[in-house]
Every structure is written in structure tokens, then in C-alpha cells.
Amino acid sequence: MPNDFLSFFLSWMSAPRRVGAIAPSGAALADLITREITATTGPVLELGPGTGAFTYKLIKRGVRQQDLTLIEYGSDFMKLLQMRFPGARVLWMDAGRITTERLYDGAPVGAVVSGLPLLNMSTRKVVSIIGGAFRYVRPGGAFYQFTYGMSCPVPRPVLDRLGLRAKLMDRALLNVPPAAVYKLTRRPQMKIVTGSPQASTPVTPELMHPERGYIAAP
């Protein structure tokens, strides 16, 4: 891993809210956020890769560059990523637009790894990014997000609205500053049978009316 501290710091000076950190993530955090990803995960979507701290680790874990899509909004970082990972698809775009761009045919993605500073974004944008990313995630796939905050950076109403659950994987106390990684997955669907078999509809438990058993508007 090259030492990117200075270039990262200069980027942060010019756009502190977008960059969201004064230094690239360290090895402990890169290890943790990629811990469950292997050569068999398939396509991986990385949001806000910066200088590639997580990207290097993903490749080390066996993800092929051809299976990597990197979405980065900073033009300086984007050029660096193109140079460092010539086999990956590097897109210079706002991750908030993944809902409108068609990044994949269908939903082949096994994992989304995000270094985006979600706490600096509006709720609306967080919904577009996470909801948009899950459109490409295959059943059983997950979205990994780190935060410097004390709790999950995706608020509970957003998780409810998107039918997701979040689990704290662990904390990387050796990172500067210490960080935590959350794993977001789809809530299990269950079938509600109301009368005839045709009326059976898969819903997430959170969308059920507690007494009447129908689906509340999300």
C-alpha cells in the first residue's frame, strides 16, 4: 500500500465534507470491512474508494479487478484509481446517481463496500445511495459501511423504509480515528396468507399492520 497521507490530506483541505476524513483508512479497518469478501463473492461495488485503501484489500482477498466497479466523485482520486487499478471499472460520478444510471444488467453484485461519509449527507441522498445500491445486490449479498460515529450511520427510519437491517460487525480501534463497520442486509421476507392462496404476499415483517396483517405503506 502506498503512503497516501499527504495527497489525501490535501484533498480533505479542499473538500472536507466530501472527503470526510483527513487520512485514508488503515490496514485494520480495510481488513474488517472486507473480512467476509472472497474470490467467490463475484462483482463488488465500491463507493467512495478514495485512494484505494479497501480496493487493495479486496484484490488481495481474491476479487478480480474485472469484477470491481469503483464509484468516486473526487476527480483527483478518480485519476489515481484509474492508474492503480487499470482492470477495474472506475466511474467518476456522484454515488447518489446510482439509481438513475444502469450499472449492471440485473442484480449480480455480491457485496457493496462503502467509504462514503454518510453522516455528511442528507437523508434523501442516503436513501438514494443505499436503495440504489441494493437494486444491484443479489439475494444474500450485503452492503458494508464504516463510520467514525458511535452508532449506525444509516438511521432506523431509512432502514425500515428500505426493508433492511444493520448489524455491527466490529470496531477497528487501531484505525485513526477508531471506526466501526456495519453490515446491511435485506430483512427476511415472510408470507402472509389471508384467506385464499392467491392473497399470499411476501412482505417484510416491519411492513405488517400489527393487528390486521396487511402491508402498511412504506
Ligand X SMILES: C[S@@+](CC[C@H](N)C(=O)[O-])C[C@H]1O[C@@H](n2cnc3c(N)ncnc32)[C@H](O)[C@@H]1O
Binding residues (CB under 6 A) for ligand X: these are 18-21, 24-25, 48-50, 53-54, 71-74, 77, 94-96, 115-117
Query: Nearer Cβ to ligand X, position 117 or 163?
Result: 117
Minimum CB distance to ligand X, residue 48 (Å): 2
CB of 54 to ligand X, least distance (A): 5
Least separation in angstroms between residue 170's CB and ligand X is: 16
- Smallest gap from residue 108 Cβ to ligand X (A): 21
Three-state DSSP state, 114: strand
Nearer to ligand X, 4 or 206 (CB): 4
Closest to 148 measured CA to CA, from 184, 115, 185: 115
b/e string for 185-212 if b means 16 or more Cβ within 10 A?
ebbeeeeeeeeeeeeeeebbeebeeeee
Q: Residue 117 or residue 153: which is nearer to ligand X going by CB? A: 117
Q: Which is nearer to ligand X, 54 or 136 (CB)?
A: 54
Residue 58, judged by CB atoms within 10 A of its CB (0-12, 13-18, 19+), counts as buried
Q: Name which of 96 and 141 has its Cβ closer to ligand X.
A: 96
Structure letter (DSSP) for residue 119: G
Q: Minimal CA–CA distance to 11: which of 25, 1, 23, 26?
A: 23
Cβ–Cβ under 8 Å, residues 58 and 33: no
Please state the closest distance from residue 201 (CB atom) to ligand X, in A: 35
